Amino acid sequence: LRDASKTILVMTTASVPWLTGTAINPLLRAAHLAAARPPGAVTLYLPWLEPDEQQEIYGATARFEDKRAHAAFVATWLRETAGLVDEAAKLRVAFYDAHYHRPQGSIYPMGRTVEALDRPDFERYDDRGGVERGAWAPDAVVLEEPEHLN
């Protein structure tokens, strides 16, 4: 991970605006890894919850009609709350389909996760709402809460 020429995917089971350690720590980790790399070398892979499920997790804080809007929120949080402007510009955000499991208070993937990176329709969003489409093969994958990702 120290080699700045390597591409990295950081995958987690939570995202801001849900202010849990499982959302904040991987975001800051991905930003730190992106700092010494070229734009797009680090992607934060987040759960995508459909809008009707979001209120239970995010409350009235935010509601995202699409992934682009959620990615923009993540970039804004990184710039304005964490003060990591340069890192926000370098980081990419992608999403996997997920579901909130109320009894356990956890978000779980639905379907393909890391293997979806190989798909031609895989999408990564930049901090300004741009989208990069196409298969992406990182050199390393960092998993947060891997017990929830199987």
Residue among 21, 41, 2, 58 at smallest CA distance from 126: 41
pLDDT confidence of residue 150: 58
pLDDT at 80 over 80: yes
pLDDT at 59: 85
61 pLDDT above the threshold of 80: no
149, pLDDT greater than 90: no
| Partner residues linked to 48 by β-bridges | 97
Top pLDDT among 12 and 117 is at: 12
Quick: pLDDT tens for 130-145: 999 999 999 999 998 7
Strand partners, 125: 93, 131
DSSP code of 39?
T
Q: Which two tokens stand for residue 123?
A: 């999408």
Mean pLDDT of the chain: 93
pLDDT in tens, 23-55: 999 999 999 999 999 999 999 999 999 998 999
Confidence of residue 118 (pLDDT cuts 50, 70, 90): confident
Q: Which helix (H) or strand (E) holds 75?
A: helix 67-76
